[in-house]
Amino acid sequence: MFAHQRKRVELLFAVADGLLTGVAFAAAYYTRRGLALGRQFYELHDAPIEMLLVASIAIWVTLGFWSRIYEHLSSASLARIASSTLRQCVLGTASVVLFEYAAHLDLSRPFLALLFGYTLMLLLAFRLNAVRMVRAFRGFGPPYHVVVVGPTPESERYGRSLVEGSAFRVELTAVVPENECVARLPRLLEQQVVDEIIFRIDSRRLTELEEIFELCDEEGVRTRLALDFLPHANSEISLDYVGEERLLTFTGGPSDDLSLIVKRLIDVLVSSAALIVLAPAMLLVAALIRLTSRGPVIFRQLRCGLNGRRFVFYKFRSMVENAEALQADLAHLNCKQTAFKIPEDPRLTPVGRWLRKFSIDEWPQFFNVLKGDMSLVGPRPPVPQEVERYQRWQRRRLRMRPGLTCLWAIRGRDHLDFDSWMRMDMEYIDRWSLRLDFEILLRSVPQVMSGQGAH
């Protein structure tokens, strides 16, 4: 499905969510009014019921966009649709409760339960039939005429997939071999309706077709160029402007600046709050370290951050004073391929072993987060010596600001091998969103408190 068509379908799903939430709200309200329970249920006095209705609709639709469920409804599995809908309804009901307290309302608990149940049933009934509904849209509106330029057998298959995969009426007007497009396309544009031309051609022929691209530009025909020949499988492609110059940009990491700004704001707020709340406990930990072993309280080490920037990394010292000098003698005990990690490390102090088990030694890294060297969530920061041994594909993990916790920290922690660490870091970078950060943080708390998976 083309991007501009997909946006229409997403908007349609959002409108459907709003309407169904409104129906569920009305059903819950009148059902509760009809129940002969001990407490009388009547219209709100402090605010009209319409205000709560509008707030409920806004909450459900906002959660739908935030969870990106509208992007996948037409292609997701039934299990994914059901789990996403359940999560949206749970969060939606919780948000209505928060709105109730913020607005000083007094809502009936059975009403809230009915709102949750009705909304869940109506949304599931609609979404489980979303694929059929999307296909039904093909009968509405004028057809969208597409021409594909490229090798005939492959381009014909590609054209058929466009027709079958679109929620709207797409007609394959013609498939033009690339060696015939200079002669055929001008006449085709004059004689037939053409909304869009897709070029799937050999990259070596791009300069030869400059005249054709200028013709399409002059006629105002939308054109697309398949980029299969460009080896940027992990990159997001966009067109940027620097002055008057246009640049085709390949980004190997997250590029949503607004979301990244929100991520940084969350880092600052949470790290500041954590340092204030944990200050008494950190003073106690510092005293324990000072009293039980020789050496500084804070361990400082050079680490690699965003795009290889080096910074001073802070931890509570959990090992003996000369731990780094002893590393070479213990190299035979290393259980990781590239990183240095020893199960039951003999260099750990008695207090340090306890600090390491519950990740208390990581608390000073809130200073790194506050400074901007690190984030709350991101690949763990490596030492420069480790980065020097990286394979080329592993270096892409440096394209994200390092974090206190990460994806592999909640999927096995130190029990995983090094390649699994790296692949999960790549998965995090490719899937990154504020929602994913939130999920990792929530799952990290019980993981850390239980001490599971730590060596």
| Domain edges within the chain | 3-135, 141-229, 257-450
**pTM for this model (two decimals):** 0.63
> At 366, phi and psi to the nearest 5?
-60, -30
Polymer length of the chain: 455
361: how many CB neighbours lie within 10 A of its CB? 23
Cα–Cα nearest to 318, from 351, 285, 284, 346? 351
Which residues does 49 contact at the CB level (< 8 Å), separation at least 6?
29, 43
Q: Both tokens of residue 251?
A: 């980004």
Cα–Cα nearest to 213, from 229, 202, 224? 224
Q: Both tokens of residue 58?
A: 């806004």
Identify the segments of the chain with pLDDT beneath 70.
Answer: 1-6, 36-48, 74-76, 131-141, 165-168, 227-235, 241-244, 322-344, 413-414, 451-455
Question: At 133, is the secondary structure helix, strand, or coil?
Answer: helix
Q: Do 205 and 178 form a contact (C-beta atoms < 8 A)?
A: yes
Angle at 375 (CA atoms; ends 370, 380), nearest 5 degrees? 125
pLDDT at 346: 73
pLDDT at 205: 77
pLDDT at 1: 47
Cα–Cα nearest to 296, from 274, 322, 275? 322
Q: 175 forms bridges with which residues in the sheet?
A: 148
CATH homologous superfamily of 141-229 equals NAD(P)-binding Rossmann-like Domain (3.40.50.720)
Using DSSP bridges, classify how beta strands 375-377 and 222-225 pair: parallel, antiparallel or unpaired: unpaired
Cα–Cα distance measured from residue 374 to residue 385, given in angstroms and rounded to the nearest whole number: 19
pLDDT at 46: 46
403: how many CB neighbours lie within 10 A of its CB? 26
Q: Both tokens of residue 373?
A: 């060297």
pLDDT at 76: 64
pLDDT at 45: 47
The CA radius of gyration of the chain, in Å to the nearest whole number, is: 29
Q: Is 372 left (phi over 0), alpha (psi -120 to 50) or beta?
A: left
